[in-house]
Chains A and B, each alone.
Chain A
């Protein structure tokens, strides 16, 4: 019961805080209102039947320009390991710990990314996996670091959690635009940031950030909370359940 009451509260709190941030962004850019965008939903609920979902981002600009949408998931540390052949078998040897890596990172644009703005601008706003800042405090040579960095992105792409081509921004007329952002079944939970950049003449002229919460809801959330808050009880309950299920099946088959 505790878990059920606590979870929506946490979600609400996160949403509220994020909404405040948006309000501030809006206030700053209200003068020009060059860019307005919003999501079809600000909450992705992971229920027992969850198998991935799509969120529509729509908005308008005050005239011609290019739009880049960057979705960034909650950040955490990621260790990248490289295998080397040792005595005939492949064993993890060297490793690099990257700090504060986005668990999810997808970019959608209306044109090819490289033609939107020069490298320096994309770098500054971290638009595109190639321009994502990945920091490490490990001592590694620049050449090897590049390999590890690429490997991180490659592994994330394989898991469907990093991408460039997931959804493309389409313009309806000159000012209205929309894009579908796809979230796979293995989407990490937490607070997401959806940044929308308006680019003109190779410069970012306006930007807006919208929050998005990915959260487990219902039965799966309760199981998760139980396992985290009372791990020992959870384990004992799991064993009792298993014994009961085994006994039940054995008793059922006795008559057959």
Chain B
């Protein structure tokens, strides 16, 4: 069933887009990540202009995060205080990110910058997660695993502005979650993704938050950063296609519900191992595209813009 997208100015098969949204939604519910890092390359592969893919993606992520948060909320898995502190950093990061995006666009290097940051962030984080969770899985098999401290304190936790987070059972500097939020917000603006793949491991490894709370809290924060990104993209670039977003979110919200349910059957380190593997595969694929000779060295774009 072909349907015309008014902003992307092309027609796509509605069923293919629905299926894509469903698959990415399932993974986002399962791992508590927005799934933008999968969806953006998929949309570009479909032929959607990269700028529209990024803008529409932000809009779709708002819906996916809302429905994801609801499911986590009912289980009491959202640390609102932590989310708000991260969000304050996130809004600062988004503003800085929009500025960097504009700068790169003027230089005509935005697409390679996006690819490189994908490869870098996905590659590093994916590998770290994979290594750590594999170790945890092996350790878990041993019956005499000793129970350690509740969490390890690192020097970052001792920064000023200490704050008590009751739900997460943490007493750490507010600068740390705000800083993580800022980096996440920057990624929303530059890479057009929710940043969950970065937030989730950062919250686990840097904040030492309880794994059960991580997915819900990061989704809670992503709702607001993606909402701001949607409005900014629509207002400045007119690259938000509501028709495409609608198709993606119908598939996405349904997929996310099943994903969240399925997530209950996965152990934390198993989920992390799978997510790490997925992230590494996407990074490898993007890196491959950067180094292999493209089929056509030339590309065209309308006007003098960056894309």
Contacts and interface: CB of A to CB of B under 8 A. Distances in A.
B6 A235 contact: no
A155 to B, nearest CB: 5
Contact of B235 (A52, A85, A216, A231): A231
Given A227-B240, A238-B59, A246-B64, 13 more contacts: A50-B4, A79-B305, A83-B298, A88-B291, A220-B6, A227-B234, A239-B62, A243-B62, A246-B65, A246-B68, A246-B249, A251-B70, A253-B67
B132 interface: no
B112 A92 contact: yes
A228 B241 CA distance: 12
B71 to A, nearest CB: 6
A155 B299 contact: yes
Interface stretch (A41-49, A122-130, A191-199): A41-49
A90 B109 contact: no
Interface string A60-92: 000000000000000011111111110011111
Nearest to A46: B4
A185 B10 CA distance: 6
B234 A232 contact: yes
Interface of B: 2-7, 9-11, 59-60, 62-71, 74, 108-109, 111-112, 116, 223, 227, 230-236, 238, 240, 242-243, 245-246, 249-250, 253-254, 256-257, 290-291, 293-294, 296-305
A250 B240 contact: no
Contacts of B60: 242
A148 interface: yes
A254 B301 CA distance: 46
A249 B109 contact: no
A152 B300 CA distance: 7
A253 to B, nearest CB: 4
Contacts of A77: 302-304
Contact of A235 (B69, B112, B223, B234): B234
A83 B60 CA distance: 32
B130 to A, nearest CB: 24
A78 B301 CA distance: 6
Contacts of A81: 108, 298-301
B296 A47 contact: no
Contacts of B303: 76-79
B220 to A, nearest CB: 12
A79 B249 contact: no
Nearest to A228: B238
Contacts of B232: 235
B4 A247 contact: no
Contacts of A186: 9-11
Given A50-B4, A246-B63, A92 B300 contact: no
8 contacts: A49-B4, A77-B303, A90-B290, A220-B6, A231-B236, A238-B59, A241-B242, A242-B249
Contacts of B296: 151, 154-155, 158
A241 to B, nearest CB: 7
B194 to A, nearest CB: 13
A243 B66 contact: yes
Contacts of B2: 49-51, 185
A97 B301 CA distance: 10
Given A91-B109, A92-B112, A227-B240, A243 B6 contact: no
Contacts of B7: 223-224, 227
A243 B235 CA distance: 19
A214 to B, nearest CB: 11
